[in-house]
Structure 1
């Protein structure tokens, strides 16, 4: 990093000199025109003309052998990295199983499409316009999907039916992948930050929230699988305890997501953390009861999933509080006036000692 002193010229205009090495490397000389981009996170970027982003060539991925797992891993990595296009190429031709895997994965990635397909080359493009993407809305939708999965999984546990999960697990992965993609792009592209309408700290907080919600969805899937393997249903009292605890865990996640991706409600974040602590205590008590009983040991696994669901919600709430600190919302939520605190006379040592 170099430091330059800002100077004022006639008419009240501020000027700053450009580093010579940068100017020469970008073809900028006296009389050249440059573009200035002011970004919402306080950055001012200087860009030489004729260096603006245009259509990019696909990232080339050589395909060797016939392993379909490799092409799936490469495609998911390219999507998450924020690339606009990726081309899978093989002189011997892309194998049929690899081709099917690429098409299947592309269908499950938001905005991705197979734009070109020949014997030796398959191109997947993601022509998403970031100005039409709402990261906050995607996180809220992910929360809805994850909690819906969780509600159905615990309904099966309490004998209220076992709805088919359909493709909601894939939908959760799809939404989380979309958030991750735009956060990755925002790390290297300032125009992405502006188009999304969020600062980098806000994007990072939403990415962290999405990761926690993805884990909530994973716990729901594992609860469903565990319950399906239990032959003997739980008794009425145990069913009621599990139902209440599952509902409390979901409330933690719901309140926390409201604070992190909704209206930044500090009270909702505090309530989520309080509920998280309550779930911890109730889970410990239920754990002791299960260990002392003859209930199927797999109920302990389900209990652990419920506890961890609440923990993930607590993590989201803690992120929301950190965001509130940066925004200065904590003082407003408490009604604290820092100006009054500064003006108020401090107690003398004698007064403090009684």
Structure 2
């Protein structure tokens, strides 16, 4: 941590010197620009103002080295902001590998395959990263989850559940990408509406928990579809309401601390889930409720931090 005195120059301009070690580490030179961003708590974030790094612009991968995890590698490169992903094999790509690559491509928003032959697949990312609002994307995921939960209550349509789950996965990967880029790009940090870098862990966890809920709904639906079991899911309504309340709070910019689920209501939902005799269905429902509580815990922490920051105590 460094302390600097504010200097008044020519009676009009205030200046603060930069630590010499920081300037050297970032390879800055006299007359180069730095970017200064004001955080919601009034603090200033200073970052080297340079052209965007080309390290991840064009990425070339030998798929033969990642046969067991090619999907995860593609997602990792996507998260880092690559604009072109060039996949190749020294030998002919197998049908199975090509199929896995195509499936991974369908789970990423803003991508298209621009070239494919027996040994190569080229994926181009056309997404404008600075136009993605993370809070709005949370809202889109919540709408899909609400639709799937309503589907379970009103009569299972497995095709609709599958479509919703695929879109939830796509939005989850998009959020993960934007959050990851926000760690190093203050422009994206603010355009995404995250605004404060210290809140990124909470955004990561909430995104993951929303995806977990979507996964559980889909797995439970597949189980019910295959077993042809009919069940009542009246306990889902309060779960839907609580999820809607969470997202509504995030979108509202409410200045009060987010109120956690009422203990009486939580007890009622828990007891309702406990009446489910099918242990597989019970496990899925119990996890969905747990993930919802995890989301609420993160919102409570975020709301406290934001409130404290506004009052100058954070």
Could you say which TM-score interval applies, normalised by the shorter chain? 0.7 to 0.9
Ranked by relative contact order (alpha carbons within 8 Å, sequence separation 6 or more), the top structure is 2
Using the size of structure 1 for normalisation, the TM-score is 0.72
- Distance in 1 (CA, whole Å) between partners of 2:35 and 2:204 is 25
Which residue of the partner structure matches residue 345 of structure 1? none
Q: Which moved more, 1:169-178 or 1:145-154?
A: 145-154
- Distance in 1 (CA, whole Å) between partners of 2:185 and 2:272 is 46
- Distance in 2 (CA, whole Å) between partners of 1:93 and 1:35 is 49
Which residue of the partner structure matches residue 35 of structure 2? 37
Which residue of the partner structure matches residue 138 of structure 1? 137
Q: How many residues align?
A: 304
- Distance in 2 (CA, whole Å) between partners of 1:265 and 1:275 is 24
Which residue of the partner structure matches residue 175 of structure 2? 179
Which residue of the partner structure matches residue 61 of structure 1? 61
- Distance in 2 (CA, whole Å) between partners of 1:151 and 1:16 is 57
Using the size of structure 2 for normalisation, the TM-score is 0.80
Which residue of the partner structure matches residue 207 of structure 2? 210
CA contact (8 A) 1:245 1:306 kept: no
Structure 2 unmatched runs, 5+: none
After TM superposition, give the deviation of residue 35 of structure 1 in Å: 1.8
**In the alignment, does 2:251 pair up with 1:258?**
no
Could you tell me which of 230, 236, 246 is aligned with 1:246?
A: 236
Q: Which moved more, 1:19-28 or 1:106-115?
A: 19-28
Q: Report which of the two structures shows the higher radius of gyration computed on alpha carbons.
A: 1
CA contact (8 A) 2:255 2:307 kept: no
Could you tell me which of 248, 251, 271 is aligned with 1:281?
A: 271
Could you say what secondary structure the match of 2:260 adopts? Answer: helix
CA contact (8 A) 1:66 1:95 kept: no
Q: For 1:268-325, what per-residue CA distance to the aligned partner results, in whole angstroms no more than 9, with x for missing partners?
A: 74346653333123334x25xx4xxxxxxxx232133223222222222222222221
RMSD (CA atoms): 3.3
Structure 1 unmatched runs, 5+: 234-238, 291-298, 332-354
Task: Describe the shift of the 1:40–1:59 C-alpha distance in structure 2 as closer, same or farther (beyond 3 A).
Answer: farther
Greater fraction of residues in helix = 1
Which residue of the partner structure matches residue 280 of structure 2? 301
Task: Describe the shift of the 1:190–1:118 C-alpha distance in structure 2 as closer, same or farther (beyond 3 A).
Answer: farther
